[in-house]
Amino acid sequence: MTSPLTQLLQDEEIRQNRVENVRTILVVLSGRSVVYDDASLRQKIQMTYPEAKIYFVTTDAKPFGEKMSASAKIDLLIDFTGVGHGHKWFFARRMRSRARVCVGRNAGFFRAHIYDRVIADEHYVEVGQDVISRERIIQREVLAEAGVPLSHQGDLGRDLGKTIANSARR
């Protein structure tokens, strides 16, 4: 359980990661598992960057949905690709030349030096071998580095349905 003060501190850190003057966002989907569907990702990103146009590509650099022109400049690149997900050769370098700010995972050749903000997968080894839960945590961190907050789920309290029903009968 996370305390409210810790939650507020995390939210403030995410707000500080927000990139200013973003009009074009390119999201590279993970080749291993996609935790959030494209509509959900689009909604989460659109809430943070309402004036931005959002494009999706796969790890093979194929468009997923609306196609972006090859010469278009990218203001924010969000790359969910991890180790062994199968990027094309020098894909990160090509994206770096087109993007103003790059956020992603430390996977592939020299990505820690190429991207502006990098999430290291090594910190999440203790999560376990479950690919989906591990990807969910890492992709949440990548979005946080891009300044995109996710809604937090509260803890469930005890069930008050029976108490409420009994008080209504009186």
Q: Is residue 2 part of a domain?
A: no
Write the CATH number for 73: 3.40.50
Q: Is residue 3 part of a domain?
A: no
Q: Is residue 103 part of a domain?
A: yes
Q: Is residue 7 part of a domain?
A: no
Alpha carbon distances (Å) from 143 to 28, 72, 112, 158: 12, 22, 17, 32
Provide the CB-side half-sphere exposure for 98 (13 A, CA).
18
Residues 145 and 11 sit within 8 Å (Cβ to Cβ): no
Pairwise CA distance, residues 97 & 116, whole Å: 12
Q: Is residue 6 part of a domain?
A: no
| Boundaries of domain holding 66 | 13-169
pLDDT for the residue 56: 93
pLDDT for the residue 155: 44
Q: Is residue 1 part of a domain?
A: no
Q: How many domains does the chain have?
A: 1
What is the model's pTM?
A: 0.79
Q: What is the pLDDT of residues 18-31, one digit of tens each?
A: 899 999 999 998 87
Place of tokens 């609306």: 66
pLDDT for the residue 146: 93
Q: Is residue 26 part of a domain?
A: yes
pLDDT for the residue 125: 61
Residue 85: name the closest of 135, 25, 144 by CA: 135
pLDDT for the residue 160: 52
Q: Is residue 80 part of a domain?
A: yes
Q: What is the pLDDT of residues 76-98, one digit of tens each?
A: 999 988 877 767 777 778 888 89
Which residues of the chain carry a pLDDT beneath 50? Answer: 154-157
- Residues in Cβ contact with 104 at an 8 Å cutoff, skipping those fewer than 6 apart: 28, 77, 78, 79, 80, 81, 92, 111, 115, 117, 118, 119, 142
